[in-house]
Chain A
């Protein structure tokens, strides 16, 4: 979107976009604000219920398994750190895809979009493994095998919120992967090249970064605190 902006331009006087963006990007920003309120409502609900509870399970005890590692091995938060790293790495490749789009480098866009999609799918796979593992330990909506940190019996709300919110986030990642795949296909067909700009990649990027940002909050709330 880089372009020379004439000095003394009256941005708000009509006949042009005041932010110098087309409507789709504006909508995306507003949509993300809306979505932020959805996640905000979930996380604040989680916080208020947790605050009102007598105790809460210790994440270091709950999230300590790693694929193919023996059960006896204690690896608190190692797996989720890997997941987080993967997701953040996919954000980096997304940035590179957007930058390649700015330079109208179709091949590089393709390459970085593929990396981003792989990152997203890896993250989802990790989540699937973690959910399966927890389910195997007896955790699910309405079932919580993990005791509070002080050893007392916990309410089911630890798992209730965990599955609901990480599930809702996972659904967002899934949608993001689908969007990215569509973008990749459009790019391979040369749609953006014909159009002369890669704005769609930018908008998909906004969504992808948002989903990553939300994960940072989800990660903090469920695994660190």
Chain B
């Protein structure tokens, strides 16, 4: 079977597909509401499904943080509306109860890390951009792509249901360490909620596997003529490394969770040994297991996971930044190389989450070295973004502002990573607000800023309309300033030793000084959350009422997605797929503002 025939996916499907295109130029599916919006196999629709599901999750997860910030800022106050809203079990007398507080922080972490910044971010942009930017009609396997979304939705539904079970959702922290997570008797949150958490995460792993296999094989196999790997936009490179990280790290989490499930229900002792439960006054027979084993398995996923979050954001930012600085990205190969280095190092640093578990100090020092090595590719990338901006002809579109904001938070959050990567400093800094501040800025805020940059930038391609700029600028400035005002003070709290995961610091003399600061953080958090609703409004309003996009290439960009029709059908390009003749960053070259990738090299022009 020849290469040509294998190129476009299923051999048996391809013949009809291609014939179709040649005859009519465009795709004429018989589309019903169900096939177009629900069980769609079009990568663009699947991407929107991921995006909107992710947005719903972001609102839920963000609202949870508002609730626990209320508690942290005003531990003595009685908010009657909380009891009215949540019932007397969770918010007795208008005060958040301890079990509920832990459920809130656990689910906030789970939702934001997995459902928003992994499913929502990669799911949206890998689906949307990979086929459009490499010049493919769709993913290699549209069916698997659809299944990937449906497993994601199934996982979402299960996780969402867990919020409503009588004993509450999982509440042992988003890392769900045993023995707490393995013993239903140990806390309410370790009962049914924990089982649902495990099942939902297993479905999530399936979804991510189906999606990632597709992304990888699409990028490798379906690039259009002339689209060599070094002509790929950096977004595609970033999504490629992200997919590989996902394929190799999520299965380890799955193994860890299977063992956890056995510990919970089959009487095994993989993670359990020598345990006495106070609530039931019982000594457990379990012997020989190791709770640390779970931490190794979890963080073997958990660390690559943070790069699964940040790499797509990096890719989106690189692309947005080059387009809006009207300059080629600085150091294209260095960007690819540093992403490759990050992808490799991602697998070699997991134990830096475990410095204080009793890890052998010698082993710890190896992990310190490897962890600090990540500073090198990260710094290369930051340098390249700054030099891309340098003397650029910058257009401050909302997407560009978010991209610049990303670089800002990535620097300030990344620098504290150097503190935490040292096992000696980690002895005093671990499990304090310093850690909270670090990972929220470098991963949470940066990830979401990158995602916003992507949404604002590609919204015209997704819906054929623009988002409202005024609302976008308000959204940006309040979000960026708000994020810094929330997380910057947490560094000071952390350096003063304030531990994370406590619901009330007021009866702790040492931390009384932070009472006012905590109120301040909570107030800013509520404002920042409210502004996100402004974004949500802008998003949905603009889908229906936004200013129409009138030209194919509104940003004057070089990449292939802007050569497709304003509202591309299934198949993306009517007629032939465009051929590529140059790299994606020919901005301000030879006096031209930009030269699309489809333009052949001129006779006096040399390839990049």
Give the interface of A toward B (CB within 8 A).
1, 3, 10, 12-24, 26-27, 30-31, 33-35, 37-42, 45, 48-49, 52-53, 141-143, 155-157, 160-161, 164, 168, 195-197, 199
- Please give, as numbers and ranges, the residues of chain B lying within 8 Å of A30 by CB-CB distance: 212-213, 216-217, 247
- Please give, as numbers and ranges, the residues of chain A lying within 8 Å of B247 by CB-CB distance: 30-31, 33-34
Contact residues of A: prevailing secondary structure: helix
B580 x A14 contact (CB < 8 A): yes
What are 30 inter-chain pairs, A to B, with CB distance below 8 A? A12-B228, A13-B227, A13-B228, A14-B224, A14-B225, A14-B227, A14-B580, A16-B4, A16-B7, A17-B220, A20-B3, A22-B6, A22-B7, A22-B221, A23-B140, A23-B141, A26-B140, A27-B214, A30-B213, A34-B251, A37-B248, A38-B254, A41-B252, A41-B256, A49-B289, A52-B288, A143-B267, A155-B288, A160-B269, A164-B259
Query: B527 in the interface, Cβ–Cβ < 8 Å?
Result: no
Please list the 6 inter-chain residue pairs (A to B) with the smallest Cβ-Cβ separation, ordered nearest first. A142-B267, A155-B288, A15-B225, A22-B6, A41-B255, A14-B227
Measured CB to CB, the closest approach of chain A to B142, in angstroms, equals 11
- Please give, as numbers and ranges, the residues of chain A lying within 8 Å of B220 by CB-CB distance: 17-19, 26
In the assembled complex, the Cα of A1 lies from the Cα of B118 at a distance in Å of: 36
Query: B130 in the interface, Cβ–Cβ < 8 Å?
Result: no
**What total of A-B pairs shows CB separation below 8 Å?**
163
Which one, A1, A10, A49, A141, contacts B267 given CB within 8 A? Answer: A141
- Please give, as numbers and ranges, the residues of chain B lying within 8 Å of A155 by CB-CB distance: 269, 287-288
- Please give, as numbers and ranges, the residues of chain A lying within 8 Å of B209 by CB-CB distance: 31, 34
Known A-B contacts: A14-B226, A53-B288. Give 20 more (CB < 8 A): A12-B228, A14-B231, A15-B223, A15-B225, A15-B579, A17-B6, A22-B7, A24-B141, A26-B217, A34-B248, A34-B251, A37-B249, A37-B251, A38-B251, A141-B267, A142-B267, A156-B268, A160-B268, A164-B259, A164-B262
- Please give, as numbers and ranges, the residues of chain A lying within 8 Å of B11 by CB-CB distance: 22, 195, 197, 199
Contact residues of B: prevailing secondary structure: helix
A156 x B228 contact (CB < 8 A): no
Chain B interface extent, by class: 35 or more
Give the interface of B toward A (CB within 8 A).
1-4, 6-7, 9-12, 134-135, 140-141, 144, 209, 212-214, 216-218, 220-229, 231, 247-252, 254-256, 258-259, 262, 266-270, 286-290, 293, 296-297, 300, 579-580
Measured CB to CB, the closest approach of chain A to B197, in angstroms, equals 19
A142 x B266 contact (CB < 8 A): yes
Measured CB to CB, the closest approach of chain A to B346, in angstroms, equals 14
- Please give, as numbers and ranges, the residues of chain B lying within 8 Å of A40 by CB-CB distance: 252
In the assembled complex, the Cα of A41 lies from the Cα of B10 at a distance in Å of: 33
- Please give, as numbers and ranges, the residues of chain A lying within 8 Å of B225 by CB-CB distance: 13-15
